[in-house]
Amino acid sequence: MPLREHLLELRKRLFLVACGLVVGGVAGWVLYEPLLDALQAPLQVAAQEQDKTIALNFTGMASALDMKVKVALFLGVIVSCPWWLYQLWAFITPGLTRRERHYAFGFLGAAVPLFLGGAALAWWVLPHAVDILAGFVPEGATNFTDAQGYLSFVMRLVLAFGLAFVSPVVLTGLNMSGLLRHETLAKGWRWAVLIAFVFAAVMTPTPDALTMIFVALPICVLYFGALGLAVLHDRRADRKRVAEAL
């Protein structure tokens, strides 16, 4: 596909993703109150356990409205993940045959639970991270956390974990489209493991190594699963290519 057609396809997919986010954002707007309560829960628990004053702070007249819009979009990203994951898949695998495209939809079906699983793991890590970070507040001090800064922290955490869990599906799509061979994945497995553990260490600011290992291992397993699928696909494609050449 020429570069111009790639750019037009990218623009089309981004527009469709934006439409999905708007629809999901409407649901986020409606569910703002319970979602905000859930976001504040780790702060309230840390405040009770450490006997400190820790609360969200809205610093401007419009900050509460900005917070509601951002929370709505945040939930919109989560709710519409099947839609934008499909658009991602459709963009990176435009040249597949009908049979391969049908086979690929099976992997797309795995992307949604993987993203949600990564987001759920981040949600599990969040209270631990808040508790550790709140422990640095000196005795007698008050921690009024900027509401939008806290939301950005939560969003980065959830989306980073979700996308990390989806990355093997993207690698599989690149392999099936002929852009990435299994040999490349096999050569880069050490870097993949290192990146997984560095990511886990950065995103889980807890002092114990067990939590880091618990976060990094699923990412490593998913990477090697993608490698195994790439090996099977490349062998089948190579046999087909040899048969056609005879």
Look at residue 100 in the predicted model and tell me its pLDDT: 58
CA quadruple 55, 60, 64, 69: dihedral positive or negative?
Answer: negative
Look at residue 15 in the predicted model and tell me its pLDDT: 92
Q: Give the integer Cα–Cα distance in Å for 118 and 44.
A: 24
* 8 A C-beta contact, residue 207 and residue 121: no
Q: What is the dihedral of CA 32, 38, 42, 47, to 10 degrees?
A: 70
Look at residue 102 in the predicted model and tell me its pLDDT: 65
Chain Cα centroid distance, residue 176:
22
Burial of 102 (0-12, 13-18, 19+ CB in 10 A): exposed
Phi-psi region for residue 54, left (φ > 0), alpha (ψ -120 to 50) or beta?
beta
CA quadruple 214, 215, 216, 218: dihedral positive or negative?
Answer: positive
Look at residue 99 in the predicted model and tell me its pLDDT: 62
Structure tokens at 148: 């939008």
Q: In tens digits, what is the pLDDT along the chain, a chain of 246 residues?
A: 566 777 788 888 889 889 988 888 898 898 888 888 888 888 888 888 888 888 888 887 788 888 888 888 888 888 888 888 888 777 776 665 666 566 657 767 788 898 899 889 888 888 888 888 787 778 777 788 888 888 888 888 888 888 888 888 888 877 877 778 888 889 888 998 999 888 888 877 666 677 778 888 888 998 998 899 889 888 888 888 887 776
Q: Give the integer Cα–Cα distance in Å for 33 and 68.
A: 9
Look at residue 5 in the predicted model and tell me its pLDDT: 76
pLDDT tens by residue, 18-50:
998 888 889 889 888 888 888 888 888 888 888
Q: Give the integer Cα–Cα distance in Å for 58 and 44.
A: 16
